[in-house]
Amino acid sequence: MDYINILKDLSTYPGVSGREDKLSGYIAKMFEKYCDSVEIDEFYNVIGIKKGKGGLGRRIMVTAHIDEIGLIVKSIDEKGFVTVSNIGGVDSKVLLAQEVIIHGKKEIYGIIGAKPPHLLTAEEIKKAVKMEDLVIDTGLLAEEVRENVSIGDIITFKVDPFVLQNNRLSSKSLDNRAGVAALLDIMENLTLLNHNDDVWFVATVQEEVGLRGANIAAYNINPDLAIVIDVCHGQIPGTPKESVFPVGKGPAVAIGPNLHRKYSRKMIEVAKEENIPYQIDVEPGDTGTEAWAVQISREGIPTLLVSIPLKYMHTVIETLSIDDIKNTGRLIARFISMTGNEMEEVLC
Amino acid sequence: MLIKELTELNGVSGNEDEVREFIKKEAEKYADEITEDSMGNLICYKKGTSSKYRVMLSAHMDEVGFMVTGYEDSMLKFASIGGIDERILPGKRVLVGEKRIPGVIGSKPIHLQEKAERGNNIKQKNMYIDIGAEKKEEAEKLAPLGEYIAFHSLYTEFGDGCIKAKALDDRIGCAILLEILKETYQFDLYVCFTVQEEIGLRGAGVAAFRVNPDIAIVVEGTTCSDVPGAREHEYSTVMGQGAALTIMDRTSYPNKKLVEFMCKTAQNRNIPVQYKQTTTGGNDAGKIQLTRDGVVVASVSVPCRYIHSPVSVMKREDYESCLKLVKAVLDEFGSDENLIESFCV
């Protein structure tokens, strides 16, 4: 798999929470290459099924959310400058001088500005710039802006993905398009590995605004086991070592009450047996991922969480190691192929 | 496309080589003689047809940027070269050194910020540049101490005749002067592409000393604050309203007669023109004015929003106004032998 190019395309494809429709279609096409059937549900979750050889009808659901954080048009002023609100957890401090696309009647390029620095008071310059003080400059006349942009239109960030040293990639929305790449990797791996259970791959929507897509998918699919793939914080200077994970040292397997204890152990065993690098992600409570919603769907679903370390989460320079994605794919594919017969045993 | 090519070159103050080499190649087609001085200024001489006067035009080649000052784990610590608003830095893309090694300016993501950190702007000392190095040794090897770092930003046309690029201050001046160089004039013309403007107007004075001009005009990209949050009297310049003439700033006090003459010339020829309405900031005119026994100077600029950021914005029509005005003024200089002399008394 050409991970760098697939991720460049995936990460720059617009798909803010609640507006994933086009992205879902794009991802469904990617799924079709590997899956026996692919469908898009009413919420635009993409569901790809890869049948197992066991014929037992047992279902393993593997999810990765496809939505990204973004902005939404709040108002247009008399000169045509556009003010914004956020969708999902956006840090207003990283938005100045950022290029954006407003998805109005047509795509409109703009730049995020604010009151210029030399006009700020000493007090103002220390305080974080607020979302309501940011404006988008489209370089268009006011009437042209009004013709094409409406309140509620979605805004995405415009970035040039950067390939860094050591097979690292920096782009927007790698949270969680990296997870989508991992899904593809699992599919590819499973074309070579035997697996007894049916695998339901779900590219989910609306994670960033409250784990909504996964909630619905878990209910509809009602799987026997769920594996959630998301990102975790990559290690950077000035952060507590216990809550961050070095990039390039393998996926993080979560353990804690949100996750099924025996399956988590099994996942770690597989990593050891297969010599796949991994890290342990200790989660004493809410994992902040879809696992939190999926676990308590219907009569309860044994759930696992595997995370890809990602630096600068929720910025336009999210940075990860391609190797971590590959190892995530390998680990989960091996796990799926090995659990088949042992499932009863683990569950007892 | 000259503006695209010029703005996509990297030339942080003190490291203008890439820009100089490019300009030299272009200028060679038109100049009679090109001198490169010890600081790296490029002085392009164009012999006049009749007049005894020496006219200097100046635009600076350098741009704001950064330099590697140290390492934290495998990350680069960095200092700014020139005035950069640290609030715009997090999440920006940069290119390190001549090999243009890609890097990103990192800081703590919002989820890991303490409450006090969330409410305040991120300090540059708490940022670093991530080139993807795994170990400090690797970072040191790829980006040694003192390595220059430039913003990464692609030239983009958008909106109603707008251009977004880095380094419009002052590659836009360089683009205008390269156009000017194409024609021949009555007087001796010295088109100077200067270095180190952004760290204290270091190159222009040296160039002016060598040229020893009778009159000098600086062509710049200048502050344009006609955006929400600024009051109208704080705008300085307005994008789309033409070439901006400086009355006074922190470094220079341009010749009143010359500035008024330039304004009138613009009006007579229907070239959009505006006065810069703040006295803050400064440019090479300040150093040129005080060279030797003093030089008659003026500054004319293209208004640039978000100046000193990777996403500076200007209007193409303002570039055209500025180019037309400089051409018109030179035209007037040539048609009246005594005009230049008249500014000096």
Taking the CB of residue A265, how many other CB atoms lie within 10 A of it? Answer: 13
- Indicate the helix (H) or strand (E) that contains A4: helix A3-12
The identity of residue B323, as a single letter, is L
The CATH H-level (homologous superfamily) assignment of domain A3-68+172-347 is: Zn peptidases (3.40.630.10)
Mean pLDDT, each 10-residue run in order, chain A (348 residues): 96 97 98 98 97 89 98 97 97 97 98 91 90 97 97 97 98 98 98 94 96 96 97 95 94 97 96 97 96 96 98 98 98 90 56
Nearest C-alpha neighbor of B316 from the set B263, B240, B258, B231:
B240
Instruction: Check CB contact of B130 with chain A, cutoff 8 Å.
Output: yes
Instruction: Give the Cα separation of A59 and A197 in Å (integer).
Output: 6
What is the bridge-based pairing of β-strands B215-223 and B296-304?
parallel
Q: Looking at the structure, tell me whether residues B71 and B219 fall in a common domain.
A: no
The identity of residue A337, as a single letter, is S
Q: What are the chain A neighbours of B314 within 8 Å (beta carbons)?
A: none
Tell me the shortest Cα–Cα distance from B268 to chain A, in angstroms.
28
Tell me the shortest Cα–Cα distance from B260 to chain A, in angstroms.
28
Nearest C-alpha neighbor of B329 from the set B194, B217, B172:
B217
Q: What are the chain B neighbours of A128 within 8 Å (beta carbons)?
A: 118-121
| The pLDDT of residue A1 | 87
> Catalytic pick from B26, B63, B147, B197?
B197
pLDDT more than 70, % of chain B: 100
pLDDT in tens, B21-46: 999 999 999 999 999 999 999 999 99
Q: Looking at the structure, tell me whether residues B70 and B195 fall in a common domain.
A: no
Counted across chains A and B, CB pairs separated by less than 8 A come out at: 181
Query: Is A260 known as a binding-site position?
Result: no
* Residue B109, CA distances (Å) to A93, A271, A284, A287 in order: 10, 29, 21, 17
Q: What are the chain B neighbours of A96 within 8 Å (beta carbons)?
A: 85, 87-88, 309
Cis before A222? omega within 30: no
Specify whether the CB–CB gap between B254 and B248 falls below 8 A: yes
Q: Looking at the structure, tell me whether residues B245 and B207 fall in a common domain.
A: yes
Q: Which of B106, B127, B151 is the last residue of a domain?
A: B151
Q: Looking at the structure, tell me whether residues B196 and B308 fall in a common domain.
A: yes
Q: Cα angle at B310 between B304 and B316, to 5 degrees?
A: 35
The identity of residue A14, as a single letter, is P
| The pLDDT of residue B337 | 78
| The pLDDT of residue A342 | 62
| The pLDDT of residue A340 | 63
| The pLDDT of residue A348 | 46
Q: Looking at the structure, tell me whether residues B90 and B173 fall in a common domain.
A: no
Asked whether the predicted pLDDT for residue B313 surpasses 70, the reply is yes
State the residue range of the domain holding B271. Answer: 2-63+166-344
| The pLDDT of residue A117 | 87
- One-character DSSP codes across A9-45: HHHHS--BTT--HHHHHHHHHHHHTT-SEEEE-TT--
Which residue in A has a C-alpha nearest to residue B311's C-alpha? A97
Query: Is B233 known as a binding-site position?
Result: no
Q: Which of B128, B151, B174 is the last residue of a domain?
A: B151
Q: Which of B92, B117, B151 is the last residue of a domain?
A: B151
| The pLDDT of residue B176 | 98
Is B176 a member of any domain? yes
Instruction: Check CB contact of B126 with chain A, cutoff 8 Å.
Output: yes
Is B235 a member of any domain? yes
Taking the CB of residue A272, how many other CB atoms lie within 10 A of it? Answer: 10
Q: Looking at the structure, tell me whether residues B173 and B313 fall in a common domain.
A: yes
Is B156 a member of any domain? no
Q: Looking at the structure, tell me whether residues B79 and B125 fall in a common domain.
A: yes
Name the residues of A annotated as catalytic. Answer: 207
Length of chain A: 348
Query: What average pLDDT does the segment B282-311 reach?
Result: 96
Q: Looking at the structure, tell me whether residues B223 and B238 fall in a common domain.
A: yes
- Tell me: domain A71-157, CATH 2.40.30.40, correct? yes
Q: Could you write out the three-class secondary structure of A162-222?
A: EEECCCEEEECCHHHHHHHHHHHHHHHHHCCCCCCCEEEEEEECCCCCCCHHHHHHHHHHC
Is B90 a member of any domain? yes
| The pLDDT of residue B330 | 96
Q: What is the CATH number of the domain that holds B200?
A: 3.40.630.10
How many domains does one find in chain B?
Answer: 2
Q: Looking at the structure, tell me whether residues B112 and B125 fall in a common domain.
A: yes
Is B159 a member of any domain? no
Query: What is the interface pTM, i.e. ipTM, of the complex?
Result: 0.94
DSSP A235: P
Q: What are the chain B neighbours of A312 within 8 Å (beta carbons)?
A: 91, 104, 106-107, 109, 130
Instruction: Give the Cα separation of A3 and A175 in Å (integer).
Output: 15
Q: Looking at the structure, tell me whether residues B41 and B140 fall in a common domain.
A: no
Query: Which tokens hold the place of A189?
Result: 């791996």
Query: Is B134 known as a binding-site position?
Result: no
| The pLDDT of residue A200 | 98
* Interface contact B313-A139, CB threshold 8 A: yes
Query: Which tokens hold the place of A272?
Result: 């050891």
Specify whether the CB–CB gap between B149 and B66 falls below 8 A: yes
Asked whether the predicted pLDDT for residue B279 surpasses 90, the reply is no
Residue B197 appears among annotated catalytic residues: yes
Specify whether the CB–CB gap between B297 and B254 falls below 8 A: yes
Strand order in the sheet with A162-164: A162-164, A168-171, A318-321
Query: Is A65 known as a binding-site position?
Result: yes
Q: How many CA atoms lie within 13 A of B240 on its CB side?
A: 9
Query: Which tokens hold the place of A191?
Result: 């074309």
* Interface contact B108-A236, CB threshold 8 A: yes
Instruction: Give the Cα separation of A40 and A131 in Å (integer).
Output: 34
Q: Hey, where are the domains in chain A?
A: 3-68+172-347, 71-157
Best residue of A8, A78, A93, A132 to probe chain B, by most B CBs closer than 10 Å:
A93
Q: Looking at the structure, tell me whether residues B103 and B221 fall in a common domain.
A: no
* Interface contact A138-B158, CB threshold 8 A: yes
Instruction: Give the Cα separation of B215 and B208 in Å (integer).
Output: 10
Query: Which tokens hold the place of B274?
Result: 């505006």
